[in-house]
């Protein structure tokens, strides 16, 4: 963005929201960060803790807020508020209780920041992004779900380990579809060092048979559940994922990131948010990419779309 003063508001000072605010501040990509929570004391405590690290980072104003007026004229509004996902609970189980929360929040923040990009993190993120766009009336390019960006990072990290601890930044792979139980790895798009994943596996002498691929896909899909079972919540990975998305927007990087976006005919899918590769820049979603998928992968993408449409219909 050409603006020199960048304001980001984070709605919800729970584990995800506060860790996101901390990560944004540590990266120094905004001049002002507002951490909003109805429980103002919680937001104030988190901000006090974060701002004590300010001598070690670029200068950033971090403020706590309990009034939506404090979010006015934000460039990006990140919404993390919602009911906590309990052990054994699927993301889609949370749809009904979080939809009302999302409607309430968006009806407050959208009029105060009419030019903002809404970045939805609250789960189930695909359904919540649809609700946020419906309430805000914003163009689809400016209502984005964090989607499978983190899931894809988990896949890239896991593959980097399997391929002998190579740099995970040199592993390119996507998880597509729902951010949830119907998500899937698009193996046909995965590559390492310019080689498709199967050719790379042969060169590295790595077993990447169909059964191994299936196990890897399941491990990525279940990663959040495993973390929640052990420590009660996930927040570091998603905070870094959200900060990365904000970087791409604010620096107009035109980066290709798998995010939850509204499809209107792409892949033969209409009127549903789910994750596919997109170009991200200062205006939000600059372009939805449609790389060739195998018939099996296309079937899985359509299955995700149907799952999400059913979940959304349940809200009505």
Sign of the C-alpha dihedral computed for residues 185, 188, 194 and 198 taken in this order: positive
Closest CA to 305 of 278, 276, 272, 268: 272
Structural tokens at position 29 = 């990509």
Integer CA distances (angstroms), 240 to 35, 77, 197, in order: 16, 16, 26
239 membership: H or E segment, kind and range: helix 236-250
Q: Which residues contact 165 (CB under 8 A, 6 or more apart)?
A: none
Residues 6+ apart with CB under 8 A from 7: 30, 31, 32, 33, 34, 73, 74, 75
Give which of 256, 252, 277, 266 is closest to 305, Cα–Cα: 266
Distance CA 99, CA 94 (A): 8
Q: Is residue 124 reached through a cis peptide bond, with omega within 30 degrees of 0 on the bond before it?
A: yes
Please tell me what DSSP assigns to residue 116: P
Crossing angle for the helix pair 236-250 and 149-162, nearest 10 degrees? 110
Query: Which strand (E) or helix (H) includes residue 278?
Result: strand 270-281
Provide the annotated active-site residues: 179
Q: Are strands 76-79 and 171-172 parallel, antiparallel or unpaired?
A: unpaired
**Token digits of residue 19:** 């860790």
115 token code pair: 């030019």
Find residue 63's DSSP bridge partners. 34
Task: Classify 209 in phi/psi space as left (phi over 0), alpha (psi -120 to 50) or beta.
Answer: beta
Residues in the chain: 316
């Amino acid at each position: 963005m050409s603006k020199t003063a960048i304001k980001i508001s984070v709605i919800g000072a729970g584990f995800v929201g506060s860790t996101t605010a901390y990560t944004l501040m540590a990266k120094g990509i905004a001049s002002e960060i507002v951490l909003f929570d109805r429980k103002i004391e919680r937001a104030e405590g988190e901000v006090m803790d974060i701002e004590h690290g300010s001598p070690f980072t670029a200068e950033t104003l971090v403020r706590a807020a309990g009034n939506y007026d404090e979010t006015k004229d934000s460039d990006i509004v990140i919404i993390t508020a919602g009911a906590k996902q309990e052990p054994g609970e699927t993301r889609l189980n949370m749809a009904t209780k979080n939809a009302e929360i999302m409607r309430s929040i968006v009806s407050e923040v959208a009029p105060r920041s009419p030019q903002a990009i809404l970045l939805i993190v609250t789960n189930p993120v695909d359904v919540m992004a649809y609700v946020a766009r419906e309430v805000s009336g914003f163009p689809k390019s400016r209502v984005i779900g964090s989607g499978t960006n983190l899931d894809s990072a988990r896949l890239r990290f896991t593959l980097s380990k399997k391929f002998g601890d190579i740099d995970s930044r040199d592993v390119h792979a996507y998880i597509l579809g729902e951010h949830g139980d119907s998500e899937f790895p698009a193996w046909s798009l995965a590559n390492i060092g310019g080689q498709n994943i199967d050719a790379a596996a042969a060169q590295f002498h790595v077993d990447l048979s169909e059964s191994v691929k299936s196990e890897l896909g399941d491990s990525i899909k279940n990663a959040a559940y495993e973390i929640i079972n052990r420590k009660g919540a996930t927040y570091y990975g998603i905070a870094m994922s959200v900060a990365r998305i904000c970087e791409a927007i604010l620096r107009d990087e035109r980066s290709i990131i798998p995010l939850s976006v509204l499809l209107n005919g792409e892949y033969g899918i209409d009127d549903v948010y789910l994750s596919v590769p997109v170009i991200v820049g200062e205006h939000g979603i600059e372009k939805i990419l449609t790389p060739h998928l195998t018939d099996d992968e296309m079937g899985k993408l359509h299955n995700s779309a149907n799952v999400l449409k059913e979940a959304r219909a349940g809200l009505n």
